[in-house]
Structure 1
Amino acid sequence: MTAVRDRALAIVELLAHNVHGLPMSEIGDRLGIPRTAAHRVLADLKESGYVKQDPNSSQYMLTVKLASLGLSYLAATGITDAAQPLLDDLAQASGELVRLAVVEGDDLIWVAKAQGARTGLRYDPDAGLEIYLPATANGLAFLAAVDEDRALALVSRQGMDRAREMGPGAPQTLRALMEQIAQTKERGFAVVFDAYEAGTSAVAAVIRIDEKSEPIGTVSIAGPSIRMTRERMDAFGPKVLQCAEALALASRSSPMFGRR
Protein backbone atom coordinates (compact mmCIF):
# COMPACT_ATOMS: atom_id res chain seq x y z
CA MET A 1 0.00 0.00 0.00
CA THR A 2 2.82 2.39 0.90
CA ALA A 3 4.58 1.73 -2.41
CA VAL A 4 1.40 2.51 -4.35
CA ARG A 5 0.90 5.72 -2.36
CA ASP A 6 4.52 6.79 -2.91
CA ARG A 7 4.21 6.12 -6.64
CA ALA A 8 0.98 8.09 -6.84
CA LEU A 9 2.57 11.09 -5.13
CA ALA A 10 5.63 10.85 -7.38
CA ILE A 11 3.41 10.86 -10.46
CA VAL A 12 1.40 13.83 -9.19
CA GLU A 13 4.60 15.80 -8.52
CA LEU A 14 5.98 14.95 -11.96
CA LEU A 15 2.79 15.99 -13.73
CA ALA A 16 2.69 19.22 -11.71
CA HIS A 17 5.89 20.21 -13.50
CA ASN A 18 4.61 19.11 -16.93
CA VAL A 19 1.31 20.91 -17.41
CA HIS A 20 0.90 19.74 -21.01
CA GLY A 21 1.00 16.13 -19.90
CA LEU A 22 3.23 13.11 -20.44
CA PRO A 23 2.66 9.69 -21.99
CA MET A 24 2.38 6.77 -19.62
CA SER A 25 5.62 5.23 -20.88
CA GLU A 26 7.61 8.39 -20.17
CA ILE A 27 6.09 8.75 -16.70
CA GLY A 28 7.15 5.22 -15.85
CA ASP A 29 10.62 5.63 -17.32
CA ARG A 30 11.31 8.96 -15.58
CA LEU A 31 10.25 7.63 -12.20
CA GLY A 32 11.71 4.16 -12.56
CA ILE A 33 8.27 2.56 -12.24
CA PRO A 34 7.40 -0.52 -14.32
CA ARG A 35 5.01 0.54 -17.05
CA THR A 36 2.30 -1.87 -15.94
CA ALA A 37 2.47 -0.42 -12.42
CA ALA A 38 2.49 3.15 -13.79
CA HIS A 39 -0.61 2.37 -15.84
CA ARG A 40 -2.36 0.95 -12.78
CA VAL A 41 -1.57 3.97 -10.57
CA LEU A 42 -2.59 6.40 -13.32
CA ALA A 43 -5.89 4.54 -13.68
CA ASP A 44 -6.51 4.94 -9.94
CA LEU A 45 -5.66 8.66 -10.08
CA LYS A 46 -7.92 9.08 -13.10
CA GLU A 47 -10.78 7.33 -11.34
CA SER A 48 -10.29 9.62 -8.31
CA GLY A 49 -10.48 12.70 -10.52
CA TYR A 50 -6.90 13.91 -10.03
CA VAL A 51 -5.63 12.94 -13.49
CA LYS A 52 -7.18 13.06 -16.95
CA GLN A 53 -6.07 11.68 -20.30
CA ASP A 54 -6.05 13.69 -23.49
CA PRO A 55 -8.23 11.79 -25.99
CA ASN A 56 -6.06 12.88 -28.93
CA SER A 57 -2.52 12.44 -27.60
CA SER A 58 -3.30 9.90 -24.83
CA GLN A 59 -1.03 11.94 -22.55
CA TYR A 60 -1.83 12.14 -18.86
CA MET A 61 -2.14 15.48 -17.06
CA LEU A 62 -3.45 16.79 -13.77
CA THR A 63 -7.00 18.04 -13.44
CA VAL A 64 -7.88 21.23 -11.55
CA LYS A 65 -9.05 19.16 -8.58
CA LEU A 66 -5.60 19.18 -6.97
CA ALA A 67 -5.21 22.93 -7.54
CA SER A 68 -8.64 23.48 -6.05
CA LEU A 69 -7.66 21.55 -2.94
CA GLY A 70 -4.49 23.60 -2.63
CA LEU A 71 -6.31 26.90 -2.95
CA SER A 72 -8.93 25.78 -0.46
CA TYR A 73 -6.20 24.80 1.99
CA LEU A 74 -4.41 28.15 1.65
CA ALA A 75 -7.68 30.00 2.15
CA ALA A 76 -8.45 27.93 5.25
CA THR A 77 -5.05 28.73 6.79
CA GLY A 78 -5.79 32.44 6.51
CA ILE A 79 -2.44 33.12 4.89
CA THR A 80 -3.93 34.69 1.77
CA ASP A 81 -6.21 36.98 3.77
CA ALA A 82 -3.30 38.09 5.95
CA ALA A 83 -0.62 38.38 3.30
CA GLN A 84 -2.33 39.51 0.10
CA PRO A 85 -2.93 43.16 1.12
CA LEU A 86 0.75 43.49 2.07
CA LEU A 87 1.88 41.95 -1.22
CA ASP A 88 -0.51 44.20 -3.14
CA ASP A 89 0.89 47.31 -1.42
CA LEU A 90 4.49 46.34 -2.19
CA ALA A 91 3.62 45.52 -5.80
CA GLN A 92 1.94 48.88 -6.25
CA ALA A 93 4.87 50.72 -4.67
CA SER A 94 7.49 48.89 -6.75
CA GLY A 95 5.57 48.46 -10.00
CA GLU A 96 6.97 44.92 -10.22
CA LEU A 97 6.05 41.32 -9.42
CA VAL A 98 5.95 40.53 -5.69
CA ARG A 99 5.86 36.92 -4.49
CA LEU A 100 5.57 35.15 -1.16
CA ALA A 101 7.13 31.76 -0.45
CA VAL A 102 6.84 29.67 2.70
CA VAL A 103 9.30 27.20 4.16
CA GLU A 104 7.99 23.65 4.08
CA GLY A 105 10.61 21.26 5.48
CA ASP A 106 13.69 21.82 3.33
CA ASP A 107 11.79 23.52 0.50
CA LEU A 108 10.61 27.00 -0.34
CA ILE A 109 7.17 26.89 -1.95
CA TRP A 110 5.38 29.73 -3.77
CA VAL A 111 1.99 30.47 -2.21
CA ALA A 112 0.95 33.99 -3.29
CA LYS A 113 1.84 36.86 -5.59
CA ALA A 114 0.84 40.35 -6.71
CA GLN A 115 1.66 41.96 -10.06
CA GLY A 116 2.54 45.65 -9.94
CA ALA A 117 3.53 46.16 -13.59
CA ARG A 118 0.55 47.54 -15.52
CA THR A 119 2.21 48.48 -18.81
CA GLY A 120 5.37 47.59 -20.71
CA LEU A 121 7.44 44.53 -19.86
CA ARG A 122 5.90 42.23 -17.26
CA TYR A 123 7.72 39.42 -15.49
CA ASP A 124 5.27 36.78 -14.32
CA PRO A 125 6.77 33.29 -14.70
CA ASP A 126 5.30 29.90 -14.09
CA ALA A 127 7.96 29.07 -11.53
CA GLY A 128 6.70 25.65 -10.56
CA LEU A 129 6.47 24.38 -7.02
CA GLU A 130 9.99 24.17 -5.66
CA ILE A 131 12.31 27.17 -5.63
CA TYR A 132 15.88 26.50 -6.74
CA LEU A 133 17.84 28.00 -3.87
CA PRO A 134 21.31 28.71 -5.40
CA ALA A 135 20.02 30.88 -8.27
CA THR A 136 17.15 32.89 -6.78
CA ALA A 137 16.92 35.88 -4.48
CA ASN A 138 14.43 33.98 -2.33
CA GLY A 139 16.83 31.07 -2.10
CA LEU A 140 19.76 33.28 -1.12
CA ALA A 141 17.69 35.03 1.54
CA PHE A 142 16.70 31.64 2.96
CA LEU A 143 20.24 30.21 2.87
CA ALA A 144 21.65 33.34 4.55
CA ALA A 145 19.16 32.99 7.41
CA VAL A 146 20.16 29.45 8.44
CA ASP A 147 23.44 28.20 9.88
CA GLU A 148 26.20 27.18 7.50
CA ASP A 149 25.79 23.43 8.04
CA ARG A 150 22.12 23.55 7.12
CA ALA A 151 22.79 25.85 4.17
CA LEU A 152 25.34 23.38 2.80
CA ALA A 153 22.92 20.48 3.33
CA LEU A 154 20.14 22.35 1.50
CA VAL A 155 22.42 23.15 -1.43
CA SER A 156 23.73 19.58 -1.54
CA ARG A 157 20.15 18.30 -1.69
CA GLN A 158 19.33 20.37 -4.78
CA GLY A 159 22.81 20.27 -6.27
CA MET A 160 24.74 22.89 -8.21
CA ASP A 161 24.34 21.26 -11.62
CA ARG A 162 21.09 23.08 -12.41
CA ALA A 163 22.91 26.42 -12.10
CA ARG A 164 24.49 25.73 -15.51
CA GLU A 165 21.02 25.86 -17.05
CA MET A 166 20.13 29.18 -15.40
CA GLY A 167 21.07 32.74 -16.32
CA PRO A 168 24.63 34.05 -16.59
CA GLY A 169 24.44 35.52 -13.09
CA ALA A 170 23.84 32.17 -11.38
CA PRO A 171 26.80 31.03 -9.22
CA GLN A 172 28.58 28.12 -10.91
CA THR A 173 30.57 26.90 -7.92
CA LEU A 174 29.86 26.34 -4.25
CA ARG A 175 32.52 28.91 -3.37
CA ALA A 176 30.81 31.57 -5.50
CA LEU A 177 27.48 30.73 -3.88
CA MET A 178 28.90 30.98 -0.37
CA GLU A 179 30.32 34.41 -1.24
CA GLN A 180 26.85 35.55 -2.33
CA ILE A 181 25.37 34.18 0.89
CA ALA A 182 27.96 36.14 2.90
CA GLN A 183 27.11 39.31 0.97
CA THR A 184 23.42 38.72 1.63
CA LYS A 185 24.05 38.42 5.37
CA GLU A 186 26.06 41.65 5.35
CA ARG A 187 23.51 43.54 3.24
CA GLY A 188 20.47 42.24 5.09
CA PHE A 189 18.59 41.25 1.93
CA ALA A 190 19.38 39.21 -1.19
CA VAL A 191 19.83 40.49 -4.73
CA VAL A 192 20.38 38.54 -7.95
CA PHE A 193 21.03 39.82 -11.46
CA ASP A 194 20.23 37.58 -14.45
CA ALA A 195 20.53 34.53 -12.21
CA TYR A 196 17.36 32.44 -12.47
CA GLU A 197 17.10 33.39 -16.12
CA ALA A 198 18.74 35.97 -18.38
CA GLY A 199 16.98 39.33 -18.44
CA THR A 200 15.36 39.09 -15.00
CA SER A 201 16.57 40.20 -11.58
CA ALA A 202 15.17 40.18 -8.06
CA VAL A 203 15.55 41.31 -4.47
CA ALA A 204 14.27 39.29 -1.50
CA ALA A 205 14.13 39.23 2.29
CA VAL A 206 13.57 36.40 4.72
CA ILE A 207 10.51 36.28 6.99
CA ARG A 208 10.95 35.20 10.61
CA ILE A 209 9.26 36.06 13.86
CA ASP A 210 12.48 37.38 15.42
CA GLU A 211 16.21 37.28 14.77
CA LYS A 212 16.66 34.04 16.74
CA SER A 213 13.81 32.11 15.15
CA GLU A 214 13.98 29.88 12.08
CA PRO A 215 12.89 31.34 8.72
CA ILE A 216 9.22 30.82 7.91
CA GLY A 217 9.26 32.25 4.40
CA THR A 218 10.59 34.85 1.99
CA VAL A 219 9.16 37.79 0.06
CA SER A 220 10.62 39.13 -3.17
CA ILE A 221 10.36 41.78 -5.86
CA ALA A 222 11.28 40.62 -9.36
CA GLY A 223 11.22 42.17 -12.80
CA PRO A 224 13.06 42.72 -16.08
CA SER A 225 16.75 43.51 -15.58
CA ILE A 226 16.40 46.56 -17.81
CA ARG A 227 14.34 48.13 -15.00
CA MET A 228 15.84 46.33 -12.02
CA THR A 229 19.10 48.26 -11.93
CA ARG A 230 21.49 48.07 -8.99
CA GLU A 231 20.34 51.50 -7.77
CA ARG A 232 16.70 50.46 -7.93
CA MET A 233 17.42 47.17 -6.19
CA ASP A 234 19.16 49.04 -3.36
CA ALA A 235 16.09 51.25 -3.04
CA PHE A 236 13.81 48.20 -2.97
CA GLY A 237 15.85 46.55 -0.22
CA PRO A 238 14.38 48.51 2.72
CA LYS A 239 10.86 48.16 1.26
CA VAL A 240 11.08 44.38 1.00
CA LEU A 241 12.50 44.22 4.54
CA GLN A 242 9.58 46.26 5.85
CA CYS A 243 7.15 43.96 4.05
CA ALA A 244 8.89 40.91 5.54
CA GLU A 245 8.49 42.36 9.04
CA ALA A 246 4.80 43.05 8.42
CA LEU A 247 4.31 39.53 7.06
CA ALA A 248 5.98 38.09 10.15
CA LEU A 249 3.43 39.87 12.33
CA ALA A 250 0.54 38.86 10.09
CA SER A 251 1.71 35.24 10.06
CA ARG A 252 0.74 34.81 13.70
CA SER A 253 -2.89 34.61 12.66
CA SER A 254 -2.24 31.69 10.31
CA PRO A 255 -1.95 28.08 11.53
CA MET A 256 0.40 27.45 8.59
CA PHE A 257 3.02 29.46 10.46
CA GLY A 258 1.71 29.02 13.99
CA ARG A 259 2.81 25.39 14.16
CA ARG A 260 6.46 26.20 13.46
Structure 2
Amino acid sequence: MGRAVPAVLRALDILELFGTTEELSIPEIHSRLGLPRTTVHELVGTLVERSYLAPVPGQPHRFRLGVGVFHLGSAYAERLDLAREGQAAAEEVAAACDETVHVAVLEGRDVVYVAKVDSTHPVRMVSAVGRRLPAHCTAVGLMLLARLEQRSLDTLFPPGRRLPGLTSRSLTTSRQLRDRLGAVRTDGLAQEYCESNEAVACVAAPVSDHTGATVAAMSISVPTVRWSPERAAELAGLVREGASALSVRLGHVPDAHLVTVADRGETFR
Protein backbone atom coordinates (compact mmCIF):
# COMPACT_ATOMS: atom_id res chain seq x y z
CA MET A 1 0.00 0.00 0.00
CA GLY A 2 1.24 3.47 -0.87
CA ARG A 3 1.08 6.63 1.17
CA ALA A 4 -2.41 7.87 2.03
CA VAL A 5 -3.41 10.90 -0.04
CA PRO A 6 -4.32 13.82 2.29
CA ALA A 7 -6.94 15.31 -0.04
CA VAL A 8 -8.75 11.97 -0.30
CA LEU A 9 -8.63 11.52 3.47
CA ARG A 10 -10.16 14.95 3.99
CA ALA A 11 -12.94 14.26 1.50
CA LEU A 12 -13.71 10.97 3.24
CA ASP A 13 -13.73 12.75 6.61
CA ILE A 14 -16.40 15.05 5.25
CA LEU A 15 -18.52 12.18 3.91
CA GLU A 16 -18.23 10.27 7.19
CA LEU A 17 -19.58 13.26 9.10
CA PHE A 18 -22.87 12.75 7.26
CA GLY A 19 -23.09 9.21 8.65
CA THR A 20 -24.22 10.69 11.98
CA THR A 21 -25.70 14.06 10.92
CA GLU A 22 -28.31 14.44 8.19
CA GLU A 23 -27.47 17.98 7.11
CA LEU A 24 -24.42 20.22 7.51
CA SER A 25 -23.25 23.62 6.35
CA ILE A 26 -19.70 24.47 5.34
CA PRO A 27 -19.07 26.41 8.60
CA GLU A 28 -20.26 23.34 10.57
CA ILE A 29 -17.95 21.04 8.62
CA HIS A 30 -15.10 23.50 9.15
CA SER A 31 -15.80 23.58 12.90
CA ARG A 32 -16.07 19.82 13.35
CA LEU A 33 -13.05 18.79 11.30
CA GLY A 34 -10.72 21.71 11.83
CA LEU A 35 -10.13 22.07 8.09
CA PRO A 36 -9.47 25.47 6.52
CA ARG A 37 -12.73 26.94 5.22
CA THR A 38 -11.37 27.28 1.67
CA THR A 39 -10.45 23.60 1.70
CA VAL A 40 -13.96 22.68 2.83
CA HIS A 41 -15.46 24.81 0.03
CA GLU A 42 -13.33 23.08 -2.60
CA LEU A 43 -13.94 19.56 -1.31
CA VAL A 44 -17.68 20.03 -0.84
CA GLY A 45 -17.92 21.54 -4.33
CA THR A 46 -16.17 18.51 -5.80
CA LEU A 47 -18.36 16.07 -3.87
CA VAL A 48 -21.49 17.92 -5.04
CA GLU A 49 -20.25 17.83 -8.63
CA ARG A 50 -19.83 14.04 -8.39
CA SER A 51 -23.24 13.62 -6.64
CA TYR A 52 -21.80 12.33 -3.34
CA LEU A 53 -23.27 15.39 -1.64
CA ALA A 54 -26.28 17.46 -2.66
CA PRO A 55 -27.63 20.87 -1.56
CA VAL A 56 -30.70 20.69 0.67
CA PRO A 57 -33.74 21.86 -1.36
CA GLY A 58 -34.53 25.46 -0.46
CA GLN A 59 -31.30 25.73 1.57
CA PRO A 60 -28.45 25.92 -0.97
CA HIS A 61 -25.81 26.49 1.72
CA ARG A 62 -26.63 23.26 3.56
CA PHE A 63 -25.75 19.82 2.27
CA ARG A 64 -26.74 16.18 2.67
CA LEU A 65 -25.63 12.89 1.18
CA GLY A 66 -26.23 12.58 -2.55
CA VAL A 67 -27.37 9.77 -4.80
CA GLY A 68 -23.77 8.81 -5.60
CA VAL A 69 -23.37 7.38 -2.11
CA PHE A 70 -26.58 5.36 -2.56
CA HIS A 71 -25.31 3.88 -5.83
CA LEU A 72 -22.04 2.79 -4.26
CA GLY A 73 -23.77 1.36 -1.19
CA SER A 74 -26.28 -0.54 -3.30
CA ALA A 75 -23.53 -2.01 -5.46
CA TYR A 76 -21.69 -3.14 -2.32
CA ALA A 77 -24.83 -4.64 -0.75
CA GLU A 78 -25.64 -6.60 -3.91
CA ARG A 79 -22.26 -8.33 -3.71
CA LEU A 80 -22.67 -9.46 -0.10
CA ASP A 81 -23.30 -13.12 0.62
CA LEU A 82 -24.14 -14.09 4.20
CA ALA A 83 -23.12 -17.72 3.80
CA ARG A 84 -19.77 -16.86 2.21
CA GLU A 85 -18.94 -14.04 4.60
CA GLY A 86 -20.23 -16.08 7.54
CA GLN A 87 -17.96 -18.99 6.65
CA ALA A 88 -14.92 -16.72 6.46
CA ALA A 89 -15.72 -15.07 9.80
CA ALA A 90 -16.46 -18.43 11.45
CA GLU A 91 -13.09 -19.77 10.30
CA GLU A 92 -11.32 -16.90 12.04
CA VAL A 93 -13.17 -17.50 15.31
CA ALA A 94 -12.63 -21.27 15.14
CA ALA A 95 -8.91 -20.72 14.60
CA ALA A 96 -8.81 -18.64 17.79
CA CYS A 97 -10.69 -21.09 20.05
CA ASP A 98 -10.58 -24.50 18.29
CA GLU A 99 -14.25 -25.09 18.97
CA THR A 100 -17.20 -25.52 16.61
CA VAL A 101 -18.52 -22.21 15.26
CA HIS A 102 -21.91 -21.73 13.59
CA VAL A 103 -23.69 -18.90 11.82
CA ALA A 104 -27.47 -19.29 11.69
CA VAL A 105 -30.57 -17.43 10.51
CA LEU A 106 -34.12 -17.49 11.82
CA GLU A 107 -36.79 -19.18 9.70
CA GLY A 108 -40.13 -19.28 11.43
CA ARG A 109 -39.74 -21.01 14.79
CA ASP A 110 -36.49 -22.69 13.66
CA VAL A 111 -32.91 -21.69 13.07
CA VAL A 112 -31.06 -22.84 9.97
CA TYR A 113 -27.28 -23.10 9.96
CA VAL A 114 -25.76 -21.30 6.98
CA ALA A 115 -22.06 -21.64 7.91
CA LYS A 116 -20.06 -23.97 10.14
CA VAL A 117 -16.45 -24.67 11.07
CA ASP A 118 -15.60 -27.78 13.10
CA SER A 119 -13.30 -28.08 16.06
CA THR A 120 -10.22 -30.27 15.60
CA HIS A 121 -10.85 -31.99 18.97
CA PRO A 122 -11.94 -35.65 18.83
CA VAL A 123 -14.89 -34.75 21.07
CA ARG A 124 -16.97 -32.11 19.28
CA MET A 125 -20.48 -31.16 18.28
CA VAL A 126 -21.99 -33.02 15.32
CA SER A 127 -23.99 -30.73 13.03
CA ALA A 128 -24.21 -29.62 9.41
CA VAL A 129 -24.90 -26.59 7.24
CA GLY A 130 -28.60 -26.59 6.36
CA ARG A 131 -29.66 -28.32 9.56
CA ARG A 132 -32.74 -26.94 11.33
CA LEU A 133 -33.33 -26.83 15.08
CA PRO A 134 -36.05 -25.26 17.24
CA ALA A 135 -34.94 -21.69 17.84
CA HIS A 136 -35.91 -21.66 21.52
CA CYS A 137 -33.54 -24.57 22.23
CA THR A 138 -30.39 -22.97 20.82
CA ALA A 139 -28.19 -20.01 21.73
CA VAL A 140 -28.32 -18.64 18.16
CA GLY A 141 -32.09 -18.98 18.18
CA LEU A 142 -32.49 -17.25 21.53
CA MET A 143 -30.32 -14.42 20.28
CA LEU A 144 -32.41 -14.00 17.14
CA LEU A 145 -35.75 -14.31 18.93
CA ALA A 146 -34.64 -11.65 21.42
CA ARG A 147 -34.35 -9.17 18.54
CA LEU A 148 -37.94 -9.68 17.34
CA GLU A 149 -40.75 -7.25 18.07
CA GLN A 150 -43.23 -8.48 20.67
CA ARG A 151 -46.00 -8.90 18.09
CA SER A 152 -43.83 -11.19 15.94
CA LEU A 153 -42.77 -13.18 18.99
CA ASP A 154 -46.39 -13.65 20.10
CA THR A 155 -47.30 -14.89 16.63
CA LEU A 156 -44.52 -17.48 16.65
CA PHE A 157 -44.98 -18.49 20.30
CA PRO A 158 -48.53 -17.68 21.48
CA PRO A 159 -48.73 -17.15 25.25
CA GLY A 160 -49.77 -20.30 27.08
CA ARG A 161 -48.66 -22.72 24.37
CA ARG A 162 -46.29 -25.52 25.36
CA LEU A 163 -42.99 -25.70 23.47
CA PRO A 164 -41.33 -28.88 22.20
CA GLY A 165 -38.06 -29.74 23.95
CA LEU A 166 -34.93 -31.47 22.74
CA THR A 167 -33.49 -32.31 26.17
CA SER A 168 -34.60 -32.25 29.78
CA ARG A 169 -33.15 -28.72 30.06
CA SER A 170 -35.02 -27.21 27.08
CA LEU A 171 -37.44 -24.35 27.62
CA THR A 172 -40.96 -25.74 27.37
CA THR A 173 -43.30 -22.81 28.11
CA SER A 174 -43.78 -19.41 26.54
CA ARG A 175 -43.32 -17.80 29.96
CA GLN A 176 -39.89 -19.43 30.37
CA LEU A 177 -38.98 -18.28 26.87
CA ARG A 178 -40.01 -14.67 27.48
CA ASP A 179 -38.11 -14.53 30.76
CA ARG A 180 -35.04 -15.91 29.05
CA LEU A 181 -35.26 -13.49 26.14
CA GLY A 182 -35.41 -10.59 28.58
CA ALA A 183 -32.06 -11.67 30.00
CA VAL A 184 -30.62 -12.07 26.51
CA ARG A 185 -31.66 -8.52 25.59
CA THR A 186 -30.03 -7.20 28.75
CA ASP A 187 -26.78 -9.09 28.18
CA GLY A 188 -26.60 -8.72 24.40
CA LEU A 189 -25.47 -12.34 24.46
CA ALA A 190 -27.25 -15.72 24.57
CA GLN A 191 -26.09 -18.89 26.31
CA GLU A 192 -27.57 -22.33 26.58
CA TYR A 193 -26.35 -25.33 28.51
CA CYS A 194 -27.45 -28.76 27.29
CA GLU A 195 -30.74 -27.39 25.93
CA SER A 196 -30.31 -28.58 22.34
CA ASN A 197 -27.85 -31.39 23.04
CA GLU A 198 -27.32 -33.15 26.38
CA ALA A 199 -23.54 -32.79 26.12
CA VAL A 200 -23.06 -29.35 24.55
CA ALA A 201 -23.06 -25.74 25.78
CA CYS A 202 -23.21 -22.72 23.46
CA VAL A 203 -22.78 -18.96 23.52
CA ALA A 204 -24.05 -16.67 20.73
CA ALA A 205 -23.95 -13.03 19.62
CA PRO A 206 -26.00 -11.07 17.04
CA VAL A 207 -24.93 -10.22 13.50
CA SER A 208 -26.19 -7.03 11.84
CA ASP A 209 -26.24 -5.95 8.21
CA HIS A 210 -25.72 -2.57 6.53
CA THR A 211 -29.19 -1.41 7.61
CA GLY A 212 -28.52 -2.19 11.27
CA ALA A 213 -31.02 -5.07 11.28
CA THR A 214 -30.11 -8.33 13.03
CA VAL A 215 -29.89 -10.87 10.19
CA ALA A 216 -28.05 -13.77 11.80
CA ALA A 217 -26.30 -14.97 14.94
CA MET A 218 -22.91 -16.57 15.49
CA SER A 219 -22.30 -19.21 18.16
CA ILE A 220 -19.46 -21.20 19.63
CA SER A 221 -20.45 -24.72 20.70
CA VAL A 222 -18.42 -26.62 23.28
CA PRO A 223 -18.76 -30.13 24.76
CA THR A 224 -19.56 -29.82 28.45
CA VAL A 225 -16.32 -31.63 29.31
CA ARG A 226 -14.49 -28.47 28.13
CA TRP A 227 -16.97 -25.94 29.58
CA SER A 228 -16.35 -23.87 32.69
CA PRO A 229 -17.25 -20.35 33.86
CA GLU A 230 -13.79 -19.16 32.85
CA ARG A 231 -14.05 -20.78 29.42
CA ALA A 232 -17.56 -19.39 28.97
CA ALA A 233 -16.33 -15.85 29.63
CA GLU A 234 -13.45 -16.29 27.19
CA LEU A 235 -15.72 -17.63 24.45
CA ALA A 236 -18.27 -14.87 25.07
CA GLY A 237 -15.61 -12.32 24.20
CA LEU A 238 -14.56 -14.24 21.10
CA VAL A 239 -18.09 -14.68 19.77
CA ARG A 240 -18.85 -10.99 20.31
CA GLU A 241 -15.74 -10.08 18.33
CA GLY A 242 -16.52 -12.62 15.62
CA ALA A 243 -20.13 -11.51 15.23
CA SER A 244 -19.00 -7.89 15.11
CA ALA A 245 -16.42 -8.71 12.44
CA LEU A 246 -19.06 -10.51 10.37
CA SER A 247 -21.39 -7.53 10.77
CA VAL A 248 -18.67 -5.28 9.35
CA ARG A 249 -18.25 -7.71 6.44
CA LEU A 250 -21.98 -7.26 5.78
CA GLY A 251 -21.66 -3.49 5.69
CA HIS A 252 -22.66 -2.66 9.26
CA VAL A 253 -21.03 0.49 10.63
CA PRO A 254 -20.63 0.17 14.41
CA ASP A 255 -20.99 3.22 16.60
CA ALA A 256 -17.54 4.70 16.98
CA HIS A 257 -15.87 8.01 17.68
CA LEU A 258 -15.22 9.73 14.40
CA VAL A 259 -11.57 10.54 13.86
CA THR A 260 -11.18 14.16 12.90
CA VAL A 261 -8.48 15.66 10.77
CA ALA A 262 -7.07 17.35 13.86
CA ASP A 263 -6.81 13.94 15.57
CA ARG A 264 -4.44 12.82 12.81
CA GLY A 265 -2.23 15.82 13.46
CA GLU A 266 -2.37 17.11 9.87
CA THR A 267 -1.25 20.62 9.17
CA PHE A 268 -2.27 22.93 6.36
CA ARG A 269 -0.53 25.74 4.62
With normalisation by structure 1, the TM-score equals 0.59
The letter of the residue matching 1:94 is C
Distance in 2 between residues matched to 1:127 and 1:78, nearest whole Å: 15
What is aligned with 1:171? Answer: 171
What is aligned with 1:51? Answer: none
What is aligned with 1:89? Answer: 92
Q: CA deviation at 1:106?
A: 6.7
What is aligned with 1:250? Answer: 249
Q: Which residue of 146, 171, 174 maps to 2:148?
A: 146
Distance in 2 between residues matched to 1:114 and 1:181, nearest whole Å: 27
The percentage of aligned residue pairs carrying the same residue is 23
**Cα deviation 1:123-181 (Å, max 9, x = unaligned):** 12247543311111011000111222222222349x74421xx1222112211111111
Give 3-state SS (helix, strand or coil) of 1:131's partner: strand
* Residues 1:154 and 1:229: Cα distance change in structure 2 (over 3 Å): farther
- 2:114·2:130 contact (CA, 8 Å) conserved in 1? no
* Residues 1:234 and 1:84: Cα distance change in structure 2 (over 3 Å): same
Distance in 2 between residues matched to 1:235 and 1:226, nearest whole Å: 16
Q: CA deviation at 1:92?
A: 1.6
What is aligned with 2:13? Answer: none
What is aligned with 1:130? Answer: 132
**Cα deviation 1:80-105 (Å, max 9, x = unaligned):** 44332321111121221101113457
- 2:206·2:214 contact (CA, 8 Å) conserved in 1? yes
What is aligned with 2:103? Answer: 100
Q: CA deviation at 1:213?
A: 3.6
**Cα deviation 1:209-250 (Å, max 9, x = unaligned):** 37x843211111112112122332222112111111111121
Structure 1: runs of 5+ lacking an equivalent: 1-75, 254-260
Question: Of Structure 1 and Structure 2, which has the larger fraction of its residues in helix?
Answer: 1
What is aligned with 1:193? Answer: 193
Distance in 1 between residues matched to 2:110 and 2:170, nearest whole Å: 19
With normalisation by structure 2, the TM-score equals 0.57
Structure 2: runs of 5+ lacking an equivalent: 1-78, 253-269
Give 3-state SS (helix, strand or coil) of 2:226's partner: coil
Q: Report which stretch shifted further, 117-126 or 148-157.
A: 148-157
RMSD of aligned residue pairs (Cα, Å)? 2.7
- 2:106·2:135 contact (CA, 8 Å) conserved in 1? no
What is aligned with 1:6? Answer: none
Distance in 1 between residues matched to 2:163 and 2:85, nearest whole Å: 37
* Residues 1:251 and 1:151: Cα distance change in structure 2 (over 3 Å): same
Distance in 2 between residues matched to 1:172 and 1:107, nearest whole Å: 15
- 1:167·1:194 contact (CA, 8 Å) conserved in 2? yes
Distance in 1 between residues matched to 2:128 and 2:92, nearest whole Å: 22
Q: CA deviation at 1:77?
A: 6.1
The letter of the residue matching 2:149 is D
Counting only pairs closer than 5 Å after superposition, residues 19-168 of structure 1 correspond to structure 2 as 78-103=81-106, 108-115=111-118, 117-126=119-128, 129-156=131-158, 160-163=162-165, 166-168=166-168
- 1:134·1:155 contact (CA, 8 Å) conserved in 2? no
